Amino acid sequence: MLEGQQANLRDGYVLQFGWGPIFLAATDEWLRLTTPDYGRDAANDRTADLSGALAIQVAQMWLPGAAGVRPQEIRFDQEVLIQRGWQEMVDFEASRRASKHDIYSGWFISDTSERDEPYPHDEILKVPAWQVVQVNPNLAQVLAMPDDTLTILEDNEVDRVIALRGDDSEYLYLNPDNS
């Protein structure tokens, strides 16, 4: 990851790794690497334990590969629109659409119930992506999916991924355990 970066390896340099930054800070003898602390308050806390950042990166890469699509960037600090009560859910419908606003990731995550009406505004929360993953690590696996996809999770496992193309939809991934 640091190959070819020698000129940048200095105090204060920030390296983008997956959805979050790696901060370089000089100590007496070396550069210390830290990331946002995704287990605490990632907006304000840092940790030298990079295992959380690496685990999230690994979790985010498997599904785009399995679905045969190119991963799409999401930053840990971008907002996810999510249905109130999501912390207790185990079945999710996660869809991503293009966003014109940098702070918004394009994600809308809700339960899997059929609806005839849109969700009322007071039923939708804006939650930073890092907090979504902190509360439910299983949702990390969908967050690098590209725009115009819908991912269904049942019992916190990916069941299927659908490409949304107007009236035409196509399965990109079906869980082989559920086929």
Mean pLDDT value across residues 48-55: 94
Is residue 10 included in any domain, yes or no?
Answer: no
CA-nearest of 41, 34, 58 to 143 is 58
Region for residue 68 given its phi and psi (left: phi exceeds 0; alpha: psi -120 to 50; beta: otherwise): left
Is residue 79 included in any domain, yes or no?
Answer: yes
- pLDDT given at position 142: 97
pLDDT tens for each residue of 12-45: 889 888 899 999 999 888 889 999 999 999 999 9
SS3 for 139-164 is HHHHCCCCCCEEEEEECCEEEEEEEE
- pLDDT given at position 2: 65
- pLDDT given at position 37: 97
pLDDT tens for each residue of 92-140: 999 999 999 999 999 999 999 888 888 889 999 999 999 999 999 999 9
Distance CA 111, CA 103 (A): 23
Is residue 19 included in any domain, yes or no?
Answer: no
- pLDDT given at position 3: 73
pTM of the model: 0.89
Q: Which domain holds residue 97?
A: 69-174
Query: Residue 105 in contact with residue 129, Cβ under 8 Å?
Result: yes
Is residue 152 included in any domain, yes or no?
Answer: yes
* pLDDT of residue 146 exceeding 90: yes
* pLDDT of residue 171 exceeding 80: yes
Is residue 45 included in any domain, yes or no?
Answer: no
In the three-class reduction of DSSP (H, G, I as helix; E, B as strand; rest coil), residue 31 is classed as: strand
Is residue 59 included in any domain, yes or no?
Answer: no
- pLDDT given at position 168: 75
Instruction: Count up the domains in the chain and report the number.
Output: 1
User: pLDDT-based confidence at 1, cuts 50/70/90?
Assistant: low
- pLDDT given at position 136: 96
Is residue 14 included in any domain, yes or no?
Answer: no
Mean pLDDT of the chain: 92
Q: Which two tokens stand for residue 33?
A: 């690497």
Spell 71-80 as b/e; 16+ CB within 10 A means b. Answer: bbebbbbbbb
Is residue 89 included in any domain, yes or no?
Answer: yes
* pLDDT of residue 179 exceeding 70: no
